[in-house]
């Protein structure tokens, strides 16, 4: 008699996930900034024993041009093993790949041949708007009840954005997640503390505020997102709002502790209007409320205005522009990507209120244009942007493009795409894998990376 078994890539705890086999493939969302040819999902060989290591070994072309593939995720993950999950035997098989500009969603089957995934369903924007009441899908997370999707706008492209749910297996849209949204209007990232029945959301803005690039008047007027929102995960009700204040703009990426007993996480603020610095904040449970504390501040670097793009000439400085962060599975190391200066920082956050810098590399950057040992071009542009960490914490991957229209504001010459890998010491310290550098073939630019079998920003856990 056949016995159903959970997907072998599901792990009950982050401790067990760290013992998973090393990934051999990664999937990378790529887009054409000119929107003339279809975007692609690329497959990259990340197995050092392979003859095609550090090469693109497969591609899936989208059926339309102009999607602007951005963030994507799996249909199912380790959260399916939670006690309240009704489907522990769902398979991690499909990638849910939305177009941020088009509002179109692509369902991509990675089996039976993981190097040659296939599109099995396309959900058009009209269906999403009708069934979910949202457009501009941005972030995908697999949860115990289904696939959660954060969207940035309502059907008309206005406030409020929010979250909707999809079925794990047939990908039908179930509907809007919020029962009571309270004061929340802007949407961006979201994640949860499953052990504390809490969902957290952050903010960006509506499409008219970013689609043609950051708007200086909106930025200097402190009208981009700057708040965190805390929700009752099961009752789907807004509980609390924390405003970071007018100085802080673009409170973005949420990285909660993986250990479900820990009621804290990290979020980045891209820019301070006071001095162009960037910052990392810890959110944490304080009695029966949530609170935040700034724990890292990264200053801007003085620069010759002649070396700066028009948007920055008047400031005579390069802002770090922290646009992504990622947390290792053991909650020990936080990685911080600086899209302005070209730095990738590693911090020991064993004490989440007292981080310590333990490693740093520089590649690209608005002024520095730092190179890589394997790069043929001695002056690289773009900078560390989307970051992903292997489950065992030993490998860190990142790409160099943020968003088509915003790329050009900071790199007016246009970004030549690349993807790199770092080796991470378990005791702290990072260095380039000198054999891993992909000069991305145009016209596409690489954005988010997902690793075969899961990674440090794909899964959540109910057991410590």
Residue given tokens 């990290």 in the structure block = 266
CATH (domain of 283): 2.130.10
Is residue 290 one of the residues assigned to a domain? Answer: yes
Is residue 409 one of the residues assigned to a domain? Answer: yes
pLDDT, tens digit, 9 for 90 and up, residues 250-302? 999 999 999 999 999 999 999 999 999 999 999 999 999 999 999 999 999 99
pLDDT of residue 377: 84
Q: 420 and 28 in contact (C-beta within 8 Å)?
A: no
Is residue 59 one of the residues assigned to a domain? Answer: no
pLDDT of residue 1: 59
Q: 327 and 349 in contact (C-beta within 8 Å)?
A: yes
- Please tell me the total count of domains within the chain: 1
Is residue 170 one of the residues assigned to a domain? Answer: yes
Cα–Cα nearest to 211, from 340, 100, 69, 97: 100
Is residue 197 one of the residues assigned to a domain? Answer: yes
Is residue 81 one of the residues assigned to a domain? Answer: no
pLDDT of residue 3: 66
Cα–Cα nearest to 385, from 344, 330, 346, 439: 344
**251: containing domain:** 142-451
**pLDDT averaged over 10-residue windows placed end to end, the chain, 464 residues:** 80 97 98 98 98 98 98 96 84 97 98 97 98 98 95 98 96 98 98 97 97 96 98 97 98 98 98 98 97 98 97 96 98 98 98 98 98 93 98 98 97 97 98 98 98 98 96
> Three-state SS for 407?
helix
Q: Tell me which H or E stretch contains 15.
A: helix 14-17
Q: State the DSSP string of 351-393.
A: STTS-EEEEEEE-B-TTT-B--TT-SSSS--S---SEEE-TTS
Is residue 231 one of the residues assigned to a domain? Answer: yes
d(CA 358, CA 428): 5
The token pair that represents 44 in the structure block:
């990259």
Is residue 459 one of the residues assigned to a domain? Answer: no
């Amino acid at each position: 008699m056949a016995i159903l078994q959970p997907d072998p890539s599901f792990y009950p705890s982050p401790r067990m996930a760290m013992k998973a086999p090393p990934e051999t493939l990664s999937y990378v969302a790529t887009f054409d900034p000119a929107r003339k040819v279809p975007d692609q999902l690329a497959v990259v060989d990340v197995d050092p024993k392979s003859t095609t290591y550090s090469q693109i070994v497969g591609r899936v072309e989208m059926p339309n041009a102009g999607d602007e593939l951005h963030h994507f995720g799996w249909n199912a993950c380790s959260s399916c093993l939670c006690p309240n999950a009704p489907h522990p035997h769902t398979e991690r098989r499909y990638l849910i790949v939305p177009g941020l500009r088009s509002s179109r969603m692509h369902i991509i089957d990675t089996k039976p041949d993981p190097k040659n995934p296939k599109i099995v369903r396309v959900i058009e924007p009209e269906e999403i708007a009708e069934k979910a009441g949202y457009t501009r899908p941005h972030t995908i997370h697999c949860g115990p009840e289904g696939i959660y999707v954060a969207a940035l706008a309502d059907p008309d492209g206005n406030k409020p954005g929010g979250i909707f749910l999809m079925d794990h297996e047939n990908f039908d849209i179930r509907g809007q997640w919020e029962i009571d949204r309270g004061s929340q209007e802007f949407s961006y990232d979201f994640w949860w503390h499953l052990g504390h029945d809490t969902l957290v959301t952050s903010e960006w803005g509506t499409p008219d505020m970013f689609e043609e690039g950051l708007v200086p008047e909106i930025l200097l007027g402190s009208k981009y997102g700057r708040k965190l929102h805390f929700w009752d995960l099961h009752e789907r009700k807004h509980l609390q709002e924390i405003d970071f204040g007018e100085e802080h703009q673009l409170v973005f990426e949420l990285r909660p502790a993986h250990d479900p007993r820990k009621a804290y996480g990290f979020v980045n603020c891209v820019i301070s209007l006071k001095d162009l610095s960037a910052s990392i904040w810890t959110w944490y449970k304080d009695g029966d409320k949530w609170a935040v504390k700034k724990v890292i501040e990264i200053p801007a670097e003085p620069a010759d205005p002649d070396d700066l793009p028009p948007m920055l000439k008047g400031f005579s400085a390069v802002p770090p522009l922290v646009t992504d962060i990622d947390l290792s599975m053991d909650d020990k190391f936080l990685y911080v990507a600086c899209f302005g200066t070209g730095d990738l920082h590693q911090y020991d956050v064993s004490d989440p209120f007292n981080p310590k810098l333990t490693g740093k590399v520089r590649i690209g950057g608005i002024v520095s244009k730092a190179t890589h040992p394997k790069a043929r071009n001695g002056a690289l542009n773009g900078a560390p942007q989307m970051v992903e960490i292997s489950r065992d914490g030993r490998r860190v991957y990142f790409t160099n493009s943020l968003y088509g229209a915003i790329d050009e504001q900071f790199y007016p010459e246009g970004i030549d795409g690349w993807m790199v890998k770092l080796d991470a010491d378990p005791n702290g310290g990072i260095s380039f894998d000198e054999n891993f550098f992909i000069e991305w073939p145009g016209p596409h630019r690489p954005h988010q990376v997902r690793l075969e079998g899961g990674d440090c920003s794909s899964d959540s856990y109910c057991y410590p």
